[in-house]
Structure 1
């Protein structure tokens, strides 16, 4: 298994293509958080945005800590989306990946708290 296989957990070319498209269309909340995470700005940890993992695209991923950060808008309040999110989180857990979720509003209104909560999952 190569480094890239491990990094992407066998994500298909189609998932990679979709991730590239999503990187060009970040939501406002994703853009705010990305500006705070990019270029190792949070405690020197490297994050990737719209990162392919197996059949999924994580909003943000820190490979060194196997941490996925997901930002949720109002669609995630719908029962079907909520169930999908739970199943996805379980599948990622099986890969040894931790998933933390934030509401879009949290990113805008309590940015420092969001960064502190993320930091709790980061270990050198």
Structure 2
């Protein structure tokens, strides 16, 4: 599944797919459900990378995992220190909002059970 909003963040002649892979590899791994790549990246990742918003939607890796229904990725991110209640700068969306909008009840239920605040604006 290609990243939507292809024109929104394309820089310096890179396609949105190339940009996602080069600048946001954690986000790409979460979109694709690539658990092996995610675990490898997490070994070299700082908290700043876990909180980095992409140039497409302003989502963090946790938002991408929630949107695409990648529960195992979501769990790994949280184990690595990602925040459950992180709100996007652009639209104040939390991973729980994104999981609900994306139609992924398994991610939404897990987020709630893990302590996500569903009433956070």
Larger strand percent: 1
State TM-score, norm by structure 1.
Answer: 0.27
State TM-score, norm by structure 2.
Answer: 0.28
Larger helix percent: 1
Question: Which structure has the larger Rg over C-alpha atoms?
Answer: 1
